[in-house]
Amino acid sequence: MSRIGVFVCHCGENIGATVDCAEVAKMAKDFPGVAFSIDYKYMCSDPGQTLIKEAIKEHNLTGVVVAACSPRMHEPTFRKVAAEAGLNPYLCEMANLREHCSWVHYKDKSTTLKAAELVRMLVEKVKLNTPLYPIKVPVTKTALVIGGGIAGIQTALDIANSGHKVIMVEKSPSIGGHMSQLSETFPTLDCSQCILTPRMVEVAQHPNITLYTYAELESLDGFIGNFKATIKLKAKSVDHSVCNGCGECSAKCPIKKIPDEFNAGLGTRPAIYVPFPQAVPNKPVIDRDNCTYFRKNGKCGLCEKICPTKAIDFSQKDEFITVDVGAVVVTTGFDIKGTDFFPEYGYGKYKDIITGLQFERLASASGPTLGEIRRPSDGKIPQNIVFISCAGSRDPAKGIDYCSKICCMYLAKHAMLYKHKVHSGKASVFYMDIRAGGKTYEEFVRRAIEEDEVNYVRGRVSRIYEKDGKLIVKGVDTLLNSYPVEIEADMVVLGTAGIANPESESLAQKLHISYDQYHFFAEAHPKLRPVETNTAGIMLAGACQFPKDIPDSVSQASGAASKVSALFSQNELTRDPLIAFVNKNTCVGCFMCQSVCPYLAIEKEKIKAKDGSVIREVAKINPGLCQGCGTCVALCRSKSIDINGYSHKQVYAEVMSLFNERSLEYV
Amino acid sequence: MQELNNKIAELLTNNLVSIFISYKKGLNGKIKPAFFTKPNEVYENYFGDEAQQNLAVYVHKPEVKKYSKVGILANIFALKALLQLYAENQIKDNYLTIVTVNQDNKVIVFADFNEIESYIAQHQIEKNTNKQKEINELLSLSREKRWEFWVEQLSSCIKCYACRAICPMCYCSKCTVELNQPQWISVPAHSLGNFEWHIMRMMHLACRCINCQECSRVCPMNIPLHLLTTKINSDMEEEFGQIAGMKTTLDFALNTFKVDDYENFIR
């Protein structure tokens, strides 16, 4: 015989102002199986918790219903209370009188009745609850960091410094990411390479970090604490254990006209190359798509002949390795729209309209002009530069809806750097709003306007065309009543929108993490869980979640690293046992549940006869992977899958309690 | 016919199959399924246009399953059903020997399910325009009239479950209707229970039904169940571009999400 206790919480005014909690408690006393019921102002407070504990002991309760706020908020609290009083924690359930009742209805008799019925449903459910015990899973204390930009570097170093192993995978031949391409960084104008390269070296030399460059994640299986990652090591065609990085091969390679990715297309590189002189590792790879040896069946091979250490190995093949990891941090960064996206700015046909990233390369000491601002078309020093912010951003009609966040700041920096290098030059910035939220950011922009005399024009540029070697920029100044502005510029820099990496969708599918409509990876909660994904054990950091500047990327990276370290501080993970299980007797093994499971938790199990022969195959749920979403339960035709804590029986009892025992007097 | 009989006898003689499922003539001249275990029984074998029954249903009956190797004569519907069953992991490899007779009366023994897949792709079943007409007539009625139509039709259901017994896709060892802890679907043959049963069955068949319409043929109360199956099949084709029994791999509209799903039912 069930002896259920009902505890109705006023939640201060939240529930008490709309629902007559004392009346709910009184009505609950008469529900079949209820041995005790009471209301209290704050059930989650210390006196409230004591009330529950004492009632469990005094009335020998077999189940508890706390009618209060959302279980998302306080279910763990009240389950702990039940456990402290000697009851199995999973015999305690919550009826949500706040979101499901008081917050959505006016004060009325029927509101109180609804509250009572919500309690009745839960009472019927708790009667069928069974004691459950947490699941324990071991933890592999190695983290996989995907992406070797500043976010990945920071994450890897933080995890490695807390004493755990890290495996870093970077798809390009060197780590460093976009930050290594930048010239100087706002708001302090310190040199990007000077603050980044020592950290790149640290990653390469750290005893706890294994670095795989020119590698990609092939697949990820498993679950929190126990992932299995397959990594594809692309063929470098150079034996890095032998190569001494002398650079002879790159200097002699006859193919020289390949657009240089590191210089954002402004320079060229050979087919055997190191992306930039400060690269880590500082050893070349062969770009097989452009190498004559691979394109013309073994002709050329010059690098092989001249290599002093015989490190060139044309026969290398892509290699696949499988590693066990306990957590994954995704730090794959972002991309920017190219100038070819904008019809009004010439679809990329004007050489002197460049992106912000290309300007970074022009301004960088390691760039194609060695830091001199020279325009791409003829190498002249531009005397008049126009910067256009929101190129593609905040443009629901033909670009993207969101603000790319970093462009206001870097365009101010660009204008400032230009003025520092070309004192006689004129710089104008067209903008919609100046978004300079951040420590000393506003001061930085003011400095550009006031000290460096950058001409800020609030308005959009409608068209740019070329005339007599000049770029005619036609815009308006909306602060002067939309007065038309026309500037004859030598060069135009577009602050193009930051967008998700083209591979982000396929990567998200490999990792089974969610992504938003723009293909940026989605965090578990925008405010309270910003570095975790909805898939347990997979974290995010940096611009793969949304365009971010360096300080934000680094802080998020440290946040992700601390989440990983917290996970690795335990030898075993404890999980709620509210997971699905299969009735082997009735499962017919159609495995439709397997294709519907978003967590890949369903496996095939062979049922064998005594002689070892297989009688049939049935579904089996991996308790480590199952998240208890219940999708398979809904799909299974023979109802052979059920779920702990939300069984068919319990749900049925909840629903039927509304139909069978409704108190008609109130209706 | 002789070629077919020789083939079946050969399979049985050489122990390539221990039972062969085919057709024979019954006492009243009606065609009924036959289960040959010895070559000397094969003379009874019959195959012709009247042999309509979908023999695939017997593949998952326990009486057949106890044989180690099974042969089956399959018409186009049975082939589709077998392919769908294979996709749903219900047929073990090297268990079935599947035989069919094509339009030119040539006997074909399939080596594997990929061959069946390409055979089915070449032998599309033409849409029965009569049935489509019946459905269009029903769809032209108002919602209330349609409800009345089905109340009238389904009230005659006696819950004999013949539709389930004949259906090659109803292979669950325990059907939802038999669950009583809790009892989701009421067992008595009253209107509510009948509606629950038939709607549930149709949902379970969505994108799995190969539309052989055996359920309609065997119904002792002549309930036009084929209207439901045909409609749900055409809906699945129109909304998701999926037809059951066409592929060796499971491609099931109700448990997959595709970016290019038409979604024109969301309005």
For residue B263, name the pLDDT band (cuts at 50, 70, 90).
low
B187 touches chain A (CB under 8 A): no
Residue A415 lies in a domain: yes
What's the token pair of residue A451?
């000290």
Contacts of B255 in chain A (CB under 8 A): 592, 595-596, 635
Domain end, chosen from A547, A574, A601, is at: A574
As for the ipTM of the complex, it is 0.88
B175 touches chain A (CB under 8 A): yes
Domain harbouring A632, CATH code: 3.30.70.20
Bridge pairing between strands A384-391 and A209-212: unpaired
Contacts of B256 in chain A (CB under 8 A): 595-596
What digits encode the pLDDT tens for the residues B36-57? 999 999 999 988 888 888 999 9
Q: Are residues A195 and A281 in the same domain?
A: no
Phi, psi of A585 (to 5 degrees): -70, -35
Contacts of A659 in chain B (CB under 8 A): none
Q: Is B213 left (phi over 0), alpha (psi -120 to 50) or beta?
A: left
Q: Give the A window 86-145 contacts with B, CB below 8 Å.
A: none
What digits encode the pLDDT tens for the residues B201-219? 999 999 899 988 899 999 9
Residue A56 lies in a domain: yes
Domain harbouring A104, CATH code: 3.40.50
What's the token pair of residue A66?
């706390």
Q: Are residues A546 and A570 in the same domain?
A: yes
Contacts of B167 in chain A (CB under 8 A): none
Between A17 and B251, the higher pLDDT residue: A17
Mean pLDDT within A350-357: 94
B125 touches chain A (CB under 8 A): no
Between CA A122 and CA A418 the distance in angstroms is 68
Contact A639 B204 (CB under 8 A): no
A600 touches chain B (CB under 8 A): no
Cβ atoms B56, B78 nearer than 8 A: yes
A640 touches chain B (CB under 8 A): yes
Mutate to test the interface with B, among A588, A593, A603, A657 (most CBs of B within 10 A): A588
Residues 6+ apart with CB under 8 A from B133: none
Residue A40 has pLDDT above 50, yes or no: yes
In single-letter form, the type of residue at position B24 comes to: K
A607 touches chain B (CB under 8 A): no
Residue B52 is predicted with a pLDDT of 83
Mean of per-residue pLDDT scores for chain A: 93
B202 touches chain A (CB under 8 A): no
Closest CA relative to residue B243, chosen from B127, B93, B134: B127
Contact B172 A637 (CB under 8 A): yes
Between CA B84 and CA A592 the distance in angstroms is 12
Q: Are residues A529 and A614 in the same domain?
A: no
Question: Chain A closest CA to B16's CA: distance in Å?
Answer: 20
Residue A359 has pLDDT above 60, yes or no: yes
Lowest mean pLDDT among A45-49, B178-182, B259-263: B259-263
Residue B261 is predicted with a pLDDT of 67
Residue B266 is predicted with a pLDDT of 65
Classify A357 as helix, strand or coil: helix
Q: Are residues A451 and A591 in the same domain?
A: no
Mutate to test the interface with A, among B89, B183, B185, B254 (most CBs of A within 10 A): B89
What digits encode the pLDDT tens for the residues A112-161? 999 999 999 999 999 999 999 998 888 999 999 999 999 999 999 999 99
A637 touches chain B (CB under 8 A): yes
Q: Are residues A368 and A472 in the same domain?
A: yes
Residue A661 is predicted with a pLDDT of 58
CA A108 to chain centre: 44
Residue A281 lies in a domain: yes
What digits encode the pLDDT tens for the residues A390-444? 999 999 998 999 999 999 999 999 999 999 999 999 999 999 999 999 999 999 9
Q: Are residues A88 and A126 in the same domain?
A: yes
A vs B: CB pairs below 8 A? 51
What's the token pair of residue A656?
């039927």
Q: What percent of chain A has pLDDT over 70?
A: 99
Residue A366 lies in a domain: yes
| Alpha helix stretches (DSSP H) within A571-612 | 592-596
Q: Are residues A309 and A322 in the same domain?
A: no
Beta strands in A30-90 (DSSP E): 34-40, 63-68
Closest CA relative to residue B175, chosen from B200, B195, B206: B200
Between CA A363 and CA A382 the distance in angstroms is 13
In single-letter form, the type of residue at position A57 comes to: K
Residue A166 lies in a domain: yes
For residue A662, name the pLDDT band (cuts at 50, 70, 90).
low
Residue B51 is predicted with a pLDDT of 82
Contact B90 A649 (CB under 8 A): no
Element (H, E) at B98: strand B96-101
Q: Give the other-Cβ count within 10 Å of A87's Cβ.
A: 22
Between CA A52 and CA A46 the distance in angstroms is 10
Domain end, chosen from A499, A534, A566, is at: A499
Residue B265 is predicted with a pLDDT of 66
Residues 6+ apart with CB under 8 A from A659: none
Beta bridge partners of A176: none
Q: Are residues A201 and A327 in the same domain?
A: yes
Between CA B215 and CA A19 the distance in angstroms is 54
CA A126 to chain centre: 37
**Taking CA atoms, what residue in B is nearest to A640?**
B174
Residue B262 is predicted with a pLDDT of 66
Residues 6+ apart with CB under 8 A from A587: A618, A619, A638, A640, A641
Q: Give the other-Cβ count within 10 Å of B12's Cβ.
A: 21
Q: Are residues A299 and A385 in the same domain?
A: no
The rounded radius of gyration (Å) of the Cα atoms in chain A is: 32
What's the token pair of residue B35?
């289960």
Contacts of A592 in chain B (CB under 8 A): 88, 250, 252, 255
Element (H, E) at A209: strand A209-212
Residue A653 lies in a domain: no
Cβ atoms A121, A303 nearer than 8 A: no
CA A119 to chain centre: 38
Contacts of B179 in chain A (CB under 8 A): 639
A660 touches chain B (CB under 8 A): no
Domain end, chosen from A574, A596, A618, is at: A574
Domain harbouring A249, CATH code: 3.30.70
Beta strands in A451-544 (DSSP E): 455-458, 461-467, 470-477, 483-489, 491-496, 498-500, 538-540
Residue A623 has pLDDT above 90, yes or no: no
Between CA A473 and CA A561 the distance in angstroms is 46
Residue A613 is predicted with a pLDDT of 84
Cβ atoms A178, A216 nearer than 8 A: no
Closest CA relative to residue A54, chosen from A101, A5, A99, A113: A5
Contacts of B171 in chain A (CB under 8 A): 588
Q: What is the DSSP secondary-structure string of A310-327?
A: --B-TT---EEEEEEESE
What's the token pair of residue A525?
């909660």
Residue A291 has pLDDT above 90, yes or no: yes
Burial of A516 (0-12, 13-18, 19+ CB in 10 A): middle
Domain harbouring A352, CATH code: 3.50.50.60
What digits encode the pLDDT tens for the residues B142-165? 999 999 999 999 999 999 999 999
Residue A624 has pLDDT above 80, yes or no: no
A50 touches chain B (CB under 8 A): no
Burial of B25 (0-12, 13-18, 19+ CB in 10 A): middle
Contact B255 A589 (CB under 8 A): no
Contact B181 A586 (CB under 8 A): no
Mean pLDDT within A59-69: 96
Contact A588 B250 (CB under 8 A): no
Contact B90 A589 (CB under 8 A): yes
B94 touches chain A (CB under 8 A): no
Mean pLDDT within A612-636: 89
Residue B128 has pLDDT above 70, yes or no: no
What digits encode the pLDDT tens for the residues A161-185? 999 999 999 999 999 999 999 999 9
Closest CA relative to residue A206, chosen from A237, A177, A166: A166
Cβ atoms A176, A148 nearer than 8 A: yes
Between CA A665 and CA A604 the distance in angstroms is 53
Cβ atoms A535, A392 nearer than 8 A: no
The rounded radius of gyration (Å) of the Cα atoms in chain B is: 20
Mean of per-residue pLDDT scores for chain B: 89
Residue B204 is predicted with a pLDDT of 93
Between B255 and A310, the higher pLDDT residue: A310
B132 touches chain A (CB under 8 A): no
**Taking CA atoms, what residue in A is nearest to B89?**
A590
Contacts of B174 in chain A (CB under 8 A): 585-586, 638, 640
Residues 6+ apart with CB under 8 A from A278: A176, A180, A193, A197, A200, A366
Q: Are residues A191 and A279 in the same domain?
A: no
Mutate to test the interface with B, among A639, A642, A649 (most CBs of B within 10 A): A639
Contacts of B175 in chain A (CB under 8 A): 638
Please tell me which of the candidates B89, B174, B184 has its beta carbon nearest to residue A591: B89
Contact A638 B176 (CB under 8 A): yes
Domain count within chain A: 5
Contacts of B204 in chain A (CB under 8 A): 637
What's the token pair of residue A441?
């950011």
Q: Are residues A564 and A590 in the same domain?
A: no
If you search the block for the tokens 């190129």, which residue do you land on? A391
Hey, what's the torsion of the CAs at A298, A304, A305, A310, to 10 degrees?
Answer: -140
HSE (side-chain half, CA atoms, 13 Å) at A169: 24
Residue A598 has pLDDT above 90, yes or no: no
User: Could you list the residue range(s) of the whole structural domain that residue A166 is in?
Assistant: 135-234+318-333+509-574
Element (H, E) at A93: strand A92-96
Contact A649 B181 (CB under 8 A): yes
Burial of A437 (0-12, 13-18, 19+ CB in 10 A): exposed
Q: Give the A window 448-467 contacts with B, CB below 8 Å.
A: none
Question: Chain A closest CA to B178's CA: distance in Å?
Answer: 9
B14 touches chain A (CB under 8 A): no
Residue B259 is predicted with a pLDDT of 64
Residue A521 lies in a domain: yes
Q: Is the peptide bond before A547 cis (omega within 30 degrees of 0)?
A: no
Contact A590 B90 (CB under 8 A): yes
Closest CA relative to residue A482, chosen from A460, A499, A465, A503: A460
Q: Are residues A286 and A214 in the same domain?
A: no
Cβ atoms A429, A456 nearer than 8 A: yes
Please tell me which of the candidates A595, A637, A653 has its beta carbon nearest to residue B256: A595
Contacts of A590 in chain B (CB under 8 A): 88-90
Mean pLDDT within A599-621: 90
Residue A61 lies in a domain: yes
Question: Chain A closest CA to B163's CA: distance in Å?
Answer: 16
Between CA A667 and CA A584 the distance in angstroms is 45
Contacts of A591 in chain B (CB under 8 A): 88-89, 250
Phi, psi of B169 (to 5 degrees): -90, -10
